[in-house]
Amino acid sequence: MTTISRMRRLALTQLFLLLMLIAVGSTTLGATEYLQTLQLSCFDNPFLSVSVSAPRHDSFVNVDVGLVDPKGRSVGSGHHGPAIPRSQYGKVVDAPQHPEMTKAVAVEICGALPGVYLISVREHGNLDYRLTVRGDDGTRSNQGNEAQFVNLHADSDRVCHYRFDFRMVKGTVGIQWLDNTGHPLASADSPTC
């Protein structure tokens, strides 16, 4: 076997390995196009999630979310200034064993502070979606947790702002929608853009 034949065989082997690595890498990226919910690693701390989802949670909607906490820190789309510690933003799956039924675009905070939060929602296109604010007391008891949601319809490229008060009283989470001036909405009223 000549030196040129050996070099050719080595080059072909290296090319084959490179193509295999590219193929494996592309399938791995496709399988992890979303984040696992932060709640699965947030123990003994209040957890807060602000999410937008398709009505059946079966697809990721084309809506961006941003959140400002009571200290003026932010996370998510349009994030400016200091970041909220222990937070994440992106496409999230709440139940990894059933990703096809639990898809959402979410801002999540582990160790959420009580107080008034401001949500910014940037809508793209013409679609129905659900805005959900969900809180967990962090005790793993599944008691004292709360979720508030509102069904909305996107109106092309508009930006909507919503406010809510996140409270923890004796281990129980409370979430109250607020109007544009910061006053509580009646329980029968839903926030509007």
pLDDT digits (tens, 9 = 90+) for 77-112: 988 889 999 999 999 988 778 878 889 999 999 999
Determine what percent of the chain is predicted with pLDDT higher than 70. Answer: 83
* Residue 93, CA atoms < 13 Å, CB-side half-sphere: 15
Classify domain 35-178 at the CATH class level.
mainly beta
User: Which residues face 103 on adjacent strands?
Assistant: 93
The C-alpha torsion from 129 through 147 and 106 to 121, rounded to 10°, is: 50
Find where tokens 């709440």 sit: 94
Domain spans of the chain, in order of start: 1-32, 35-178
**166-170: long-range pairs with CB below 8 Å, 24+:** 166/48, 166/112, 166/113, 166/114, 166/115, 166/116, 166/117, 166/133, 166/135, 167/114, 168/46, 168/114, 168/137
pTM of the entire structure? 0.80
Task: With a cut of 80, say whether residue 150 has pLDDT above it.
Answer: yes
